[in-house]
A and B are shown apart, each in its own frame.
Chain A
């Protein structure tokens, strides 16, 4: 009998032990890992809650509302709307009940989402004390609009930014998507829209401007030129021989000039006509280390510090990849082979040259204010990298002005404005090519730097950067300069 009492107590101890185990595990979940679980981006708890709460709006620098929340009679009390449809899809991203947040909605979620202020009186304990932050972006709707018009019907991207601050003025890529379709309160509709976007072979969800890498082609020659200015000044004035094909060792695929033309001469002359044979040889002369160093100074092989999520890194092969591979070195020097860059990266290269060699951190946030107008956050420009000296960037700017004045980028010229640019026609798989242009202006005191890529597609015929990308860059440049003059 007494033994049975002991064993009854033992059962109690067992239950106690089980409960202690649960309690310990609860502490792990609710205390130790609480923040991690609560802030897990896959946690739909936050998003679902946000559907019942006010959320700040997102506006462009010129005051166009591109995302805001309106009261709803549906399942949740608010509905997120994107009044401009697909125009800003890749910038705003979305708030989806199923797929979470993306884009600026994700980056600035802490500012946009409702914050409860502390109650200062007992009466205000149950009053509405929620405040939201309204976010103003550096994007200018007038520039964004022109970029979209220029790319209409064509796959490609435009990135325009202010080289002095890193403020992005326009960032558009085609095809794009309408975030309204993913912001529905109906989960089934959201899933269907998501499936349709993902099944589209053109992948409209992809923000090509900062998440897709391309072969940069001849636009990369400015990096090779910068490497010469910075690390082998003796090569700047070297007279490269007049050739139509550069004979490369150990390979049957030699390096020809575009259209079989013959070119040569100094760096300035090579850049003006985008001379493959000259830059191929210059790459060989520079050696792999100089090219790797200079490309990394411009931001290759690191994620650009833009305040939007998941920007892709651009790539330049490591020194070891060029071991015993002279052809790879020559091809990389003209932006072919394994060199890969996002349109944003190419815009940052233009911006660095424009801004005395200093690349400012790219950003889309201008400022955020709460409902009462109090400033929550203001972006302060800061430098990301110093890619070149002031003197060398000035020299390279002059070379790039030459490209516009009487080189391959004459279509990028704007009357009354000194434009510096470099074209690129990057070969992709097969016989097709992507048309590139990077530019900045006014060259004396640049306030706009642009990268444009038009992806090859049927119906465009012989694609070249000078023919297809330059007019786009010109239109966007004009829009940006005009927007800057009329705030």
Chain B
């Protein structure tokens, strides 16, 4: 089996998000789209973005341009371990954005995700993020950024309900030694897999948790 990672088109990334990821949505904002091929067959994408807010890197003393978020891993059935695919994607990401020093990613507890792929890839666990408010718009649960991207500012307030977002496990991957020395002090013990799933509300902002297909085979 041959594995190849290369740049993906937006069209291919959208297809992967819509068909291979539980959220069936493409993250808002600028994206670095890394495609994955096994035996020359397209099996999905790994997407990096600037994250849901501009202060993603602030806790680590980083500017917005030094920190990014791994926002989607949208893969169909595959032979290569996800952690390996993600690790290879770092090289492509660094080649196109050499100024980046840190990648942040989140595993959504509401999806029964504990971040197994990050643990397998030796990411640094830095605890849980606070549950930010999300919005129920026309019955669809959206992060504020996604809501603005989809509807602009013209959603009538009568159609929006503010709901408590889910708590997410936060994982960090330093891309340079200096930041590694700093964030390793924040490392906490990896959380364990949650046994009882609660799949009532797929999180739209979801982060790069594994696809449903992966969930079954990991």
> Do A and B bind?
no
